[in-house]
Amino acid sequence: MSVKRKGKSKVTIFPDWCKGCGICAAFCPSKVMELSEQGKAVVVREEECVHCGFCELHCPDFAIMVQPKEDKEEINPKLSTNKSLDNKEQSSSATESSSGTSSSQVKEDN
Amino acid sequence: MNEIQGTQLIHKYLRHNKKFPHVFCPGCGHGIVLGSLVRSIDALGLAKDDVCIVAGIGCSGRLAVYVDFNTVHTTHGRALTFATGIKMARPEMNVIVVMGDGDSMAIGGNHLIHAARRNIGVTALILNNNIYGMTGGQCSPTTPSGSFSMTSPYGQMEQSFDCVELCRAAKANYVARGSVFHVNELDKMVTEAISNPGFGVVEIMTPCFTQFGRKNKYKSPVEMFNYLKKNVISQERYNDLSESDRDGKIPSGVFVKKSEPGIEEKYYAMARQVQEGI
C-alpha cells in the first residue's frame, strides 16, 4: 500500500512561516524533512513521501503543503480540480499574505 | 490518493491582513487546534457568517484574531457569559468558545459549571496546557501535582482539576477529551461537539514548551509530543489498566453524549407557548 504511494507527492515548505519546532522532522514515517542549520525544516527525501499527511495536519504554523505531483494527473482525476483550486488559492493568498510565503518552494540542496 | 485537508483549506479561513506567522511559540499546540477547528467548520459546511468564535484571555485568546468568522475577544474568564448572551439573542448561530485552562477553570470556573448546568447551546474548546502561558508561567488549576512552574519552584503541592469529571458532574450534554497529537480524533470530536445540541466541552491537551516544558525537564517540543503520544490513551484501554498502571496516563475519547435540548430551544418554545396563550 505505502510502496505504491511513494514518489507521487510534492512536499512544499514555506520557510517564512516555519518556526523550526521540529515536529514534522521527528514524526515523519519516511524522514522526508530535516531541520537545516538555520533551524528551518527542509525537504531532503521527497521521493520517500507516502502521502500520510501527518506533517501538514500537525504543523502548528501551516507551513507545509503535501500535494500529489502534477504529472500524475491521469492517475488521479481529482487532481485537475485540485490544480485549479491551488492556483486560485495561491494567487489570492499571494496578494494578501506576506510576499513569498505561498509561492516559495524549497529546493533540494545537492 | 486522498486529498489532505490541511494548509490549502486553512488559507480560505484566515484573515490575511493579520501578521503571519502567528504569535504562538515554536512547538505550541494552539496552531494545530486552530487548524482542527477550521477543518471541522469546513466539514460541517457552515457559512462564515453563521459561526461566532468567542475567545477569552491568554494564548488561546489569540486564536480568534486569525480566523475570518464573527469573533469576540472577551475579558478574562467571561468568555462563556458573552457566548451565552450571543446564543440567547441569535439561537441560529453556531457559537464556539475558545478558552485556556486558567480562563475556564480558575477565574471562569463558576461560569463553566453553570453553563453546563443550564445546557446552553455553545461549544467550549478548553485548550489545556497545564500552565498560565502568556502571563509568565504561573501554576494553573490543571498543573499536575509535583510539576514545576514559575510560582511553584519546589513542585506543585495542590491537586489538579479534572475538567472532564467537572463537566460531567455539572450535567453537560457532550464531554470529550483529545490531544493535539491525535489530530484525526480531535477533528471528529470538535465536529461532533459543534453539531450536538446543548453544551459541548472538548478538553484539548496541548503542550506548552516555553513555560511548562523547559521547567519540567523536557528537552524539546518533540519530547512533549512524544509524551502525549505515549500517555494519552483511549478510555477503554484506560479502564482495562490496573490502578498502579494508570499513573500519568490520560484517558481520551467521548465521555458523555446526550441530545437533550439546550436552554435556548426551551426558552423560545416557552415564549411561543406564552404568546399563543394570551
Contacting residues of A for B3, CB less than 8 Å apart: 68, 78, 82
Determine if the peptide bond prior to B21 is cis (ω within 30°). Answer: yes
Reported as half-sphere exposure (CB side, CA atoms, 13 A), residue B45 has a value of: 0
Question: Percentage of chain B with pLDDT > 90?
Answer: 79
Alpha helices (runs of H) in A1-110, residue ranges in sequence order: 2-5, 23-27, 54-58, 78-96
Reported as half-sphere exposure (CB side, CA atoms, 13 A), residue B184 has a value of: 6
Supply the pTM of this predicted model. Answer: 0.85
Asked if pLDDT for residue B247 goes beyond 70, the answer is yes
Write out the H or E segment, with its range, that includes residue B99.
Answer: strand B94-100
Picking from B28, B32, B220, the nearest residue to A22 by CB comes out as B220
Q: Which of A62, A69, A89, A99 to mutate to test the interface with B (most CBs of B within 10 A)?
A: A62
B69-121 pLDDT, tens digit per residue, is 999 999 999 999 999 999 999 999 999 999 999 899 999 999 999 999 999 99
| Residue B42 DSSP label | H
Query: A22 vs B17: CB contact, 8 Å cut-off?
Result: no
Query: B11 vs A60: CB contact, 8 Å cut-off?
Result: no
Q: Are strands A9-13 and A64-68 parallel, antiparallel or unpaired?
A: antiparallel
Reported as half-sphere exposure (CB side, CA atoms, 13 A), residue A80 has a value of: 3
B109-143 pLDDT, tens digit per residue, is 999 999 999 999 999 999 999 999 899 999 999 99
Say yes or no: B219 contacts chain A, CB-CB below 8 A. Answer: no
Say yes or no: B29 contacts chain A, CB-CB below 8 A. Answer: yes
Distance from CA of B118 to the nearest CA of A (A): 34
Instruction: Please tell me the predicted confidence (pLDDT) of residue B181.
Output: 93
Contacting residues of B for A102, CB less than 8 Å apart: 11
Contacting residues of B for A53, CB less than 8 Å apart: 2, 4, 6
Instruction: Please tell me the predicted confidence (pLDDT) of residue B1.
Output: 54
CB interface of A with B, residues 36-65, below 8 Å:
51, 53, 56-65
CB A98 within 8 A of CB A34: no
